[in-house]
């Protein structure tokens, strides 16, 4: 499997580390609602099909990427920088 890092280009899987579900939103830091936090930390959907995941290019630019991957075919349909204003901009 290869992932096309938007910064470094197509690279082998061994350069990347998987860092979990990218579809979740972290609850507000000040929130103490245990159900909300529990869902964020532990509850995971296990979709058969398209899934959005965090992958860090740990053996390259070290950016976190959001990879859209089909869990049935392993086909990757999209790779983007993790959300935020740094998207597409090199940090030097």
Partner 1 sequence: MTSWRIPSGGRIDRAKPVRFSFDGKSYTGFAGDTLASALLANGVRLFGRSFKYHRPRGLVAAGYEEPNALVTVTTDGAREPNIRATELEVYDGLVAESQNRYPSLAFDLQAVNQLAGKAFSAGFYYKTFMGPVIGPLKGTRAWMFCESFIRRAAGLGSAGTVTDPARYERMNAFCDVLVVGSGPSGLEAARKAAADGKRVILCETNAAFGGSANWAGSDQAGFAETLISDLGANPGVTLLNRTTVWGCYDGNTYAALERVSDHRKQPVIGEPRHRHWVIRADHVVLATGALERLLVFPGNDRPGVMLASAAQRFAGEYGVLPGKRIVVLTNNDSAYDAAAKLRERDALITTIVDVRPTVGDWALAQAKEAGAEVLASHAVVATGGRNSLSSVTVQPFDAEINAFPGPPRRVACDTLLVSGGWSPVVHLASQAGAKPVWDDKLQAFLPPGSSSGWEAVGAAAGEGLEPPAPLFEIKAKGDKAFVDFQHDVTADDVRLAHREGYQSVEHLKRYTTLGMATDQGKTANIPGMAIMADALSKPIPEVGTTRFRPPFTGVSLGALAAERYGDIRPGRLTPMHDWHKSNGAGMYAAGLWYRPESYNRQGESVEDAYIREAKAVRRNVGIVDVSTLGKIDIQGPDAAEFLDRVYTNTFSTLPVGKARYGLMLREDGFALDDGTTWRLAENRFLMTTTTANAGRVMQHLEYHLDCIWPDLKVHLTSVTDQWAAAAVAGPKSREVLAACVKRTKLDNKALPFMGIVHGRIAQIPVMICRLSFSGERAYEVYCGAHHGQRVWDALMEAGKSFDMQPYGLEALGTLRIEKGHVTGAEIDGRTTAQDLHLDWLISKKKPFVGSAMMNREGLTDPKRWSLVGVISLSGEKLRGGSHIVDGPADDPGRSLGHLTAMCFSPLYGKYIGLALVENGTGRIGTRAFATDPARSGTHIPVEFVNHIFYDPKGERMHG
The site for partner 1 (CB under 8 A) is made up of 1-2, 17, 19, 22, 26-27, 29-32, 34, 37-38, 40-42, 54, 56, 58, 62-64, 73-74, 81-86, 91
Cα distance between residue 81 and residue 64, in whole Å: 6
Q: Tokens 């909300």 appear where?
A: 36
How near is the Cβ of 22 to partner 1 at its closest, in Å?
8
DSSP secondary structure letters along 5-47: ETTTEEEEGGG-EEEEESS--PPPTT---HHHHHHHHH-----
Considering the complex, state which of residue 47 and residue 89 has its C-beta at the smaller distance from partner 1.
89
Considering the complex, state which of residue 39 and residue 47 has its C-beta at the smaller distance from partner 1.
39
Considering the complex, state which of residue 12 and residue 47 has its C-beta at the smaller distance from partner 1.
12
How near is the Cβ of 70 to partner 1 at its closest, in Å?
10
Mapping DSSP to helix (H, G, I), strand (E, B) and coil, where does residue 82 land? coil
How near is the Cβ of 91 to partner 1 at its closest, in Å?
7
């Amino acid at each position: 499997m290869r992932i096309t890092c938007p910064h470094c280009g197509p690279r082998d899987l061994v350069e990347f580390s998987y860092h979990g579900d990218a579809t979740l939103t972290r609850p507000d830091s000040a929130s103490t609602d245990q159900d909300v936090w529990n869902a964020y930390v532990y509850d995971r959907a296990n979709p058969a099909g398209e899934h959005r995941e965090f992958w860090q290019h740990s053996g390259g630019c070290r950016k976190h990427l959001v990879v859209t991957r089909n869990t049935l075919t392993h086909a990757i349909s999209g790779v983007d920088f993790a959300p935020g204003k740094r998207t597409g901009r090199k940090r030097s």
